[in-house]
Structure 1
Amino acid sequence: MPDEIVTRLDPADGTTTVALLGEVDVLTVDQVRVALEEALAARPREIVVDLSNLDFIDSTGLGALISGFQRARDAGIAFRLAHPTRPVRQILVLSGLLEVVELTP
């Protein structure tokens, strides 16, 4: 279970960062969905999902990221993933998500 999900908006450049911590799975995915909804509601120029402290993500978490990406795209907001840990990066590659969502190493 994630310790917390941190959302921060940088008004200077219009970027909202959603930092995921710990594990995202069926028990914690609702927290991720809420954080992404709040980020979208702020109408930033860009949403960055920071994965540097994420240890694991399952298919429900991937689904939440896909949904967030689609909603951002539909609203004209850039959406990218950033700094995945090695195990999370492998999951992202295997899922095919990186074929549609931009990744910052």
Structure 2
Amino acid sequence: MIEEVTTLDTDGGTTTVSLRGEIDVLTVEQVRVALGEAVTGRPRQIVVDMAGVAFIDSTGLGALISGFQRARDQAIPFSLSHPSDNVRQILVLSGLLEVVHVTP
């Protein structure tokens, strides 16, 4: 059984998608679904809280990129928050941080 890795919370027009654990081929579908639901809700902005993410692989990066693109297409600001140093390094190496805003 796969542990739930995402939660959605909407407050004041901001939808926060909280991720935790390892985002990989076994859990990425949960991330895709949560990001899709966030975009469908048409909030003023989407924040992906990555404070609880220990590891992210290429499938996880692909899900974040897809979520970002869907939000961008709907003119919804999309940002990442609180990635660990290890996860931030993966985000930098992937080039994702060149297009997606990250808060410390």
Q: TM-score, normalised by structure 2?
A: 0.95
Q: Is contact 2:15-2:46 (8 Å) kept?
A: yes
5+ residue gaps, structure 2, are none
**Within 5 Å, which residues of 2 pair with 1:8-87?**
8-10=9-11, 12=12, 14-87=13-86
Distance 2:3 2:68 in 1: 21
| Alignment: residue pair count | 103
Question: In 2 relative to 1, CA 53–78 (structure 1 residues): closer, same or farther, beyond 3 Å?
Answer: same
SS in 1 for 2:75: coil
Structure 1 residue ranges without an equivalent (≥5): none
* Residue 5 (structure 2) aligns with: 4
* % identity of equivalent residues: 67
Instruction: Detail structure 1 runs of 4+ shifted over 6 Å in the superposition.
Output: none
Q: Secondary structure at the match of 1:27?
A: coil
CA distance in 1, matches of 2:86, 2:99: 19
C-alpha deviation, 1:88, in angstroms: 0.4
Q: In structure 1, what is the Cα distance between the partners aligned to 2:55 and 2:8? A: 19
SS of equivalent residue, structure 1 residue 44: coil
What SS does structure 1 have at the residue aligned with 2:21? Answer: strand
Q: Any conservation in 1 of the 2:5–2:31 contact (CA below 8 Å)? A: no
**SS, match of residue 84 in structure 1:** coil
SS of the residue aligned with 1:43?
Answer: coil
Q: Distance in 2 between matches of 1:2 and 1:53?
A: 13
**What is the root-mean-square deviation in Å for CA atoms of aligned residues?**
1.0
Following the alignment from structure 1 to structure 2, what is the Cα–Cα distance between the partners of residues 9 and 92? 25
Structure 1 counterpart of 2:93: 94
